[in-house]
Amino acid sequence: MSSAQDPFYIVKEEIQDSIDKLLLSFRQWEHAVYGSREQVRLTEELRTGCESIEWQVDELDKAVSVAAKDPAHYGIDQGELEKRRRWTRTARDQVGSVKKKVSSGKELSYHDSHLELMRLPVEHPHQTERSNHYGHHNDDYISSESDRQMLLIKQQDEELDELSASVQRIGSVGLSIHDELLAQEKIIDDLGVEMDSTSNRLDFLQYYSFSFSLLKDRNNDCDFAQKLFGNSTGK
């Protein structure tokens, strides 16, 4: 049976493709920033990939063990059996190495991140003589960090004071505008009253002028009648 038709090599190629993809993801994981979404995604992807490939390699190794019981029946010899066993061992070692590095690397990164946040060195018995140096370094860091926090708080207080002063100025301007509007409203009301009074006086004057005109016309008519009737009597 040729390699192209042998089920072992067909499955082997599929597993090898999975291992190649696993190693590619592992290289990406090594360069990913700890705690990032990409790093978390790659970690889960590598864990799942390792478990899946390990199961496939175990199943393939079981098939090799079955073939080893009757090599002639499957048309293979001891050299081919050893070659297949060697490949499954290599595949298992590759996957196991990735799995171990991902697990230990995650724990190490987690530990290192806490040390970075705390700015504390990892002390071992042979590092005792350097503990004082790190202690001074931590004190300096804490002091500088405290100064920075105090400066930040002071800046925030100054900004709040400026904001409060601005609010007070805006409130004062608002009150001035309100008073001005009230004054203008009073002027408009007074002007309206004065206009009403003026209108009433104009109406009265028009009425008086009209009445006077009627009276004048009536007097003229009386004079005309007297003249007319007076002349008639004289005749």
Q: What is the tens place of the pLDDT at every residue in 100-122?
A: 999 886 544 444 444 444 443 44
**Domain enclosing residue 203, as ranges:** 169-235
pLDDT of res. 77: 92
Examine the domain organization and report whether 187 and 111 are in the same domain.
no
Examine the domain organization and report whether 17 and 110 are in the same domain.
yes
E strand or H helix at 229: helix 131-234
**Residue 202, in any domain of the structure:** yes
pLDDT of res. 121: 42
**Long-range contacts of the stretch 64-68 (C-beta < 8 A, 24+):** 64/8, 64/88, 67/8
In whole angstroms, give the CA distance from residue 55 to residue 17.
15
**Residue 150, in any domain of the structure:** no
Average pLDDT, the chain: 75
In whole angstroms, give the CA distance from residue 9 to residue 183.
100
**Within 10 A of 181 (CB to CB), how many other CB atoms are there?**
10
Comparing 54-58, 118-122, 152-156, 207-211, the range with the smallest average pLDDT is 118-122
* Mean of pLDDT values over 193-208: 68
* Mean of pLDDT values over 147-166: 73
Q: Residue 42, class by beta-carbon neighbours within 10 Å (0-12 exposed, 13-18 middle, 19+ buried)?
A: buried
Examine the domain organization and report whether 200 and 106 are in the same domain.
no
CATH code of the domain in which 77 resides: 1.20.58.90
**Residue 76, in any domain of the structure:** yes
pTM for this prediction: 0.45
**Residue 149, in any domain of the structure:** no
Examine the domain organization and report whether 111 and 19 are in the same domain.
yes
Digit-coded pLDDT (tens) for 84-95? 999 999 999 999
